[in-house]
Amino acid sequence: MAKKKQTKNSAYTPGYYDPEKVHLPGAGVLVEQPITQTLETNYMPYAMSVIVSRAIPEIDGFKPSHRKILYTMYKIGLLNGGLKKSADVVGRVMELNPHGDAAIYETMVRMSRGNETLLHPFVESKGNFGKAYSRDMAYAASRYTEVKLAPICAHLFKDIDKDAVDFVPNYSGSTTEPVLLPARFPTVLVNANLGVAVGMATNIRPFNLEEVCKATIGLLRNENYDPLRVMKAPDFPGGGYLLYDEAAMRQILKTGRGSFKVRSKYVYDRESGCIEVTEIPATTSIEAIIDKIAELVKLGKITELKDMRDESDITGLKIALELKRGIDPDKLMRKLFKMTPLEDSFGCNFNLLIGGSPMVLGVKEILQEWIAWRTECVRRRIYFDLGKMKDKLHLLEGLSRILLDIDKAIRIVRETEEEELVVPNLMIGFGIDQVQAEYVAEIKLRHLNREYILNRTSELSDLREKIRDTEDLLASPQRLAGVLIEELEEVIRTSAQPRRTILLYDTEMQEEEEEEEEVNEDAMNFFFTKEGYFKKITPQSWRMGNNHKLKEEDKVVWHFEGTNAHDLLFFTDKGNVYKAKAKDFDETKASVLGDYIPAKLGFEAGEKAVFAAATRDYQGFVLFFFANGKVARTPLSAFETKTNRKKLGNASSTKSELIDGFLSVEEREFSIVSNAGRLLIVHSTAISEKSTKGSQGVSVMSLKKGQSVVSAAPFAEGEIEASHRHRTKTLPAAGKVPTYSASQITLDAE
């Protein structure tokens, strides 16, 4: 096809390009720009938009998408009116939210009572809205379902038309919407809020409404009040049992970060021989639980089940587990709690926008911020009412002047030739301003009698008293706090509900805890490599093939012959120790890499395991060798815990690099080598024991400037010649340059 010819009057014709006549400013010019400037100009606006306008909730407890939906429903009369088709509501919401009907409807579904996501749903629903606890129970299309606002929303919109909050134009400028909703209770803590922004996230767990309101009332009455006195722990719409650790929960509520566990609720029907699970953690679903149990049955780890069914229906959730004859249901459930999502962890990250800036706050700080914000809302509402009262007083004062001479007012109106002069003549005749004169001029003729005017002006004294009282209210922080307390008490009376999630304390858990499961105590070989890989190999498998598969430049640094009953301890370069049960690791072969310990045990970013140890009775001691020449000796019993804690902090000192460490049950000698080539042999008895973890130890090897310890190892006689030269009676000592035996030299050469 021939190219279209360019005309004389056109600089550019579609389909035709002439580089001599088309000029784009700056085209083809390469401009060097620092990456920081590129990120700031191109990426930061996007990141801030996601943080501020989408993913992170504000102090009223809502993200913009939630707020737009609720406000639209309020404006079209769905607070007190009847149900309306969801499709109609979604269409109207698009006037404020231009992100598409699918996203709007999905957000509305999650706020509905039928979906059961929120502890206190904001949307009453009719039709199929799916279920939060099932991934297969999908919600129906918006044309089939109906919605309206739940009664609790009356507390969200009360006084919104009295200038309690700011309004801004919508995206098209055709209408306005509230920046925040003037919620009369801390919704930010009552309903769950999850969001992933750019570089940050939020995960606010729901709390019982009555507990939140009582904690807020306590803070209003006493700023030193501890909200944790009534807010013990989160409360989930799906119920279940929360495994309550007071110290851990107090830390979560104080800092806004941490995790806890929730366990499913079940009953055992003796007649049918079935366990019926009726409440599950909010992080999982029926299908995920059934899939995991089925997987364990296939692997032979669960053999007690005869059948498994999903019996959920319109009455609610139910998973039926049919047991074989003679099986203890409680023992089986404790086993399933450990191996399936029937017991799951909940992470907390109380991140919200305060004044447009994301902040991670504890419960008390969140409530204090809410009180400050809500007090300002109430103050603005009172100012609005005060202004209305003053306007009314002003009109009534003008009307009272008419009382002095009604005939004069009538005469002025009758004798004024032009209508536009009526108001100015009334102003002159009675000494009133234009607003008052306009009011008088609009009075109907039938009301120009003394009785009507006396009835209206009789309000003056009460109105003046009410204005004085309102002004005193605005000037009194104590009285303003009293207003908030009254509102919160009203919320409790009208909307509170019993706690759904039951707290299971340590004592109860200990009573439930089964006897230690019998562990197969067959012999095992444990291997740990320099790069952090761990292998558990049976002696038979080890004899059949003992050539380790390792990553490049990796090597085995620890070999121990033990059993599945041993505890494993991995000491890291950040002063932590991670504990694990040997039985929790799968048996493997030398020909595989093994388990990567930092990933399996959840190490911190950049954390590396320096050495490993195994024990059954926590007898003996651990020696920590540091680069600065110090050695710390700590009894292994210091790392024993009554609970199954996986991570212990402050296990070793972090003031100097940890070079190596060893667990020893008996006293023995160890060799230490410095980067100066010197070797020192020291007996463990020469190192004093410190009963506390994290000790810096004692100076053992004296080092000059620039020198450091590079290795340490248990010493065996015959490794070097004249080993007595490397021993000393006093510490610290510098050591000597070693002379190796002929056999050792030959071995090294090979």
Main-chain dihedrals φ then ψ at residue 679, nearest 5 degrees: -125, 135
The angle that helices 363-403 and 477-495 make with each other, rounded to 10 degrees, is 110
DSSP readout, 516-542? PPP----EEEEEEETTSEEEEE-HHHH
Check whether the bond before 45 is cis (ω within 30° of 0): no
Q: Find residue 125's DSSP bridge partners.
A: 147
Spatial CA neighbour of 54 closest among 113, 98, 20, 10: 98
Three-class DSSP category at 574: coil
Question: Of the residues 12, 43, 46, 144, which is catalytic?
Answer: 144
Q: Find residue 714's DSSP bridge partners.
A: 670
Angstrom distance (rounded) from CA 560 to CA 613: 8
Joined together, the tokens standing for residue 634 give: 């700590």
Q: Find residue 196's DSSP bridge partners.
A: 201
376-383 own/partner pairs: CB under 8 Å, 24+ apart: 377/159, 377/164, 377/165, 377/182, 378/164, 378/480, 378/483, 378/484, 379/474, 379/480, 380/162, 380/163, 380/164, 380/165, 381/159, 381/162, 381/163, 381/164, 381/182, 382/470, 382/473, 382/474, 383/163, 383/474
- DSSP 8-state symbol, 331: H
Joined together, the tokens standing for residue 578 give: 């991670």
Spatial CA neighbour of 210 closest among 598, 475, 403, 494: 494
Angstrom distance (rounded) from CA 705 to CA 41: 48
The residue written with tokens 């007083």 in the block is 393
403-411 own/partner pairs: CB under 8 Å, 24+ apart: 403/450, 403/453, 403/454, 403/457, 404/430, 406/448, 406/449, 406/450, 406/453, 409/440, 409/448, 410/448
Angstrom distance (rounded) from CA 521 to CA 566: 9
Spatial CA neighbour of 687 closest among 678, 697, 679, 677: 697
Tell me, yes or no, if 225 is annotated catalytic: no
Spatial CA neighbour of 678 closest among 707, 653, 706: 707
Contact between residue 229 and residue 203 where contact means Cβ atoms under 8 Å apart: no
Angstrom distance (rounded) from CA 163 to CA 381: 6
SS3 track for 53-88: HHHCCECCCCCHHHHHHHHHHHHCCCCCCCCEEHHH
Angstrom distance (rounded) from CA 651 to CA 636: 10
Angstrom distance (rounded) from CA 666 to CA 650: 25
Angstrom distance (rounded) from CA 44 to CA 50: 10
In degrees to the nearest 10, what's the CA dihedral of 617, 621, 625, 628? 130
The residue written with tokens 């605005």 in the block is 474
SS3 track for 458-521: CCHHHHHHHHHHHHHHHHCHHHHHHHHHHHHHHHHHHHCCCCCCEEECHHHHHHHCCCCCCCCC
Q: Distance from first CA to last CA of the chain, Å, rounded?
A: 77
Main-chain dihedrals φ then ψ at residue 558, nearest 5 degrees: -150, 130
Joined together, the tokens standing for residue 352 give: 């919200």
Contact partners, residue 547, CB within 8 Å, separation at least 6? 590, 591
Strands 343-349 and 257-263: antiparallel
Strands 698-699 and 630-635: antiparallel
Joined together, the tokens standing for residue 211 give: 């507990």
Q: Give the residue numbers marked as catalytic.
A: 144
